[in-house]
A and B are shown apart, each in its own frame.
Chain A
Amino acid sequence: MQALFAQLLVGLINGSFYALLSLGLAVIFGMLNIINFAHGALYMMGAFVAYFLLNNDYLSIGYWPALIVAPIVVGIFGMILERTMLQWLTGLDHLYGLLLTFGIALIVQGVFQNYFGSSGLPYAIPDQLKGGMNLGFMFLPVYRGWVVIFSLVVCIATWFLIEKTRLGAYLRAATENPTLVRAFGINVPRMITLTYGLGVGLAALAGVLSAPINQVRPLMGADLIIVVFAVVVIGGMGSIMGSIITGFALGVIEGLTKYFYPEASNTVVFVLMVLVLLVKPTGLTGRAA
């Protein structure tokens, strides 16, 4: 029984990565209508930027500032992508966006792999978050606890921004009817660019969070992205709350699978996806298009 609780907690921790990543995907899909396959590559870039900030002779920026700086740097990279490539796809079929972003992901990963190999680079846990506490039923590393709390806060803040603020209302309106919103004097293309930057920034933030736990590897995003897509599909494409809840829930389910039948832990998410889509093709919280 104790072991079961431990697995639940570990699942929740992994779920917070799924939630952060799928949140960014959902924001981008909901607002831009683009299936952002480059999300994994941008997550990886976040981790690499944190690594460079730490190991650069001149900057030597540690973990805490990297949590802010890395998402901004990668977010700007994302906005450049949006301005130079993605914006030309407005109004076209989803497939074009998917292919373009998939290509971008392959190029980015290829370039990183060419220079840094496949086994990755070390990134230490910041001193303040080292060690762990004995909860009785398990040993909880402080850093993992921090990841859960921090990503929950970020998820809720993002949901609040989009669903409850005036800015979010503009955004949602702009995706419904851009011509009308533009008539009110709002710069819609700039809003779209900033939104993409926000989604990408969330991916990079997850990357920085994961750097001390996983190796900083060029393929770290590629390994994760398929699972995250499954999370978004199960949660309902573009639904913000759906992707947050599904992210955490799937982390827990995956953790339990690792306990009861470890061999299936990489496939359980996809089995669930099939089941959900059979029953409710729009996903758990999605609305029919």
Chain B
Amino acid sequence: MKHSISGMLLGAALAIGATSGAVAQDKTIKIGVLTDNSGLYADLGGPGSTVAAQMAIEDSGLAAKGWKIDLISADHQNKPDIGSAIARQWIDVEKVDIFMDVLNSGVALAVNNIVKEKNSILIDTGAATSDLTNAQCSPNTIHWVYDTYMLANSTGQALVKAGGDTWYFLTADYAFGHALERDTAAVVVKSGGKVIGTVRHPLNTADFSSFLLQAQASKAKVIGMANAGGDTTNTIKQAAEFGIVSGGQKLAGLLLFITDVHALGLKVAQGLNFTETFYWDMNDGTRAFSKRFSERMKNKAMPSMVQAGVYSGLIHYFKALEAMGGNPHDGAKAVAKMKEMPTDDALFGQGTIRVDGRKLHPAYLFEVKKPEESKGPWDYYKLIGTTPGDQAFRPLSESACPLVKK
């Protein structure tokens, strides 16, 4: 009897040991792509981001090694309150481990707080505001693709150097537009230029003629568009109509995506200068990925830098998890591991993730080709300058991020 009791105890102990062993090697991951699936940013992120995430899961080869990876997606409709509600539900009910894309700065800043509070992970590839790695930085967030400081630093500086020393801003009236205008204005002033006016328009405006007339009347040499997506395409199209560029003023696309150029057509978009960190036609690696991506898209679109970032960010995340051996549910720990490891993938090349969560890689200044220079569909960009990763983004010495020890 004594024997059987001790045997049972032993058996029980073994069983507990076995289950705790299984917990130690928990290999289930849930990825949530939170994006604009139906509004004015849906082409540059949206369903394409989910396709990119799916490709990253397949290419990681983790499934063959016994990992179970789930992917879900939702539409935040560009509304911070809706985005927050989905984020809470995803963490509490769906047990989502990592948020991808999260474009729209307003939504991103809201989700950033929730992710920190709940110790999840946000790899933001879509939002522009540099606050994500500055004043509002978090041990749970990595800002992957670009930010307003980098855009301002690259495009803004190049244009001031080229003689555009007076600026007028057309700004989308929410977190993103304000951040982009603030960062660009700082660069303009620092480079010896002057900001002579600003007009703030509501998000998703169809008609820009009133604002363009005000910009035209200001006689500024450069009209900086601190907006994105459908707002930018409509601005560019209507600026052409009002003879802004032919009248001698320069139109600066501070944030432009390849999907916007495609939507405008080269006839209207030609000659625009702007900055991106990814272009499908850079090298064999980007071309191979983009071709596979485009085949999966309904309208055969090439990937935007936001979508490419989703792929690149997840590939690095998977590498970090593999190095950790399992247990992906402690967000801050996984992010710390990701910061430890250098990044390397076919899309963005080699890079690093800084202590404030800023991913570093080169920034490219592009010019849109003339229609006669383009050899086919999606052949749109000419590379005119490259800024190395360590110079493109805000230096840590200027950072207000509490994670940066000074």
Binding site for B on A (CB under 8 A): 2-3, 6-7, 10-11, 13-14, 113-122, 124-125, 131-132, 138-139, 141, 143-144, 213-215, 217, 219-220, 223-224, 255, 258-259, 262-263, 265-267
Contact = CB atoms under 8 A, between A and B. Distances in A.
Interface string B225-260: 000011001100110011100010000000000011
19 contacts: A3-B213, A10-B213, A117-B301, A118-B40, A119-B42, A119-B260, A119-B262, A120-B230, A122-B264, A124-B265, A131-B243, A143-B241, A214-B234, A215-B230, A215-B233, A215-B263, A258-B211, A262-B199, A262-B201
Contacts of A7: 210, 213
A121 B301 CA distance: 13
B43 interface: yes
B267 interface: yes
Interface residues of B, number: 45
Nearest to B297: A117
A119 B201 contact: no
Contacts of A143: 241
B211 A118 contact: no
Contact of B241 (A3, A11, A144, A215): A144
Given A14-B207, A265-B202, A117 B259 contact: yes
A213 B205 CA distance: 13
Interface string B28-41: 00000000001111
B206 interface: yes
A118 B202 CA distance: 18
B204 interface: yes
A223 B213 contact: no
B200 interface: yes
Contacts of A219: 38-40
Nearest to A125: B241
B217 interface: yes
B65 interface: no
Best-surrounded residue of A114, A215, A263 (most CB of chain B within 10 A)? A215
A14 B211 CA distance: 13
Nearest to B209: A10
A6 B213 contact: yes
A143 B247 CA distance: 18
A259 B210 contact: yes
Contacts of A139: 216, 242-243, 247
A223 B42 contact: no
A259 B214 CA distance: 8
B206 A220 contact: yes
Given A113-B38, A124-B267, A124-B268, 4 more contacts: A10-B213, A116-B299, A119-B44, A215-B233
Contact of B265 (A122, A144, A217, A223): A122
Contacts of B44: 119
B303 interface: no
A215 B209 CA distance: 14
B46 interface: yes
B405 interface: no
Contacts of B214: 3, 259
B298 interface: yes
Contacts of B229: 118-119
A119 B259 contact: yes
A151 to B, nearest CB: 15
Contacts of A262: 173, 199-202, 210-211
A219 B204 CA distance: 11
A122 B263 contact: yes
Contacts of A121: 263
A223 B298 CA distance: 24
B217 A3 contact: yes
Nearest to A122: B265
Best-surrounded residue of A117, A124, A125, A259 (most CB of chain B within 10 A)? A117
B200 A119 contact: no
A224 B211 contact: no
A215 B247 CA distance: 23
Interface in B264-294: 264-265, 267-268
Return the 3 tightest CB-CB contacts between A and B, nearest first: A122-B265, A258-B210, A119-B263
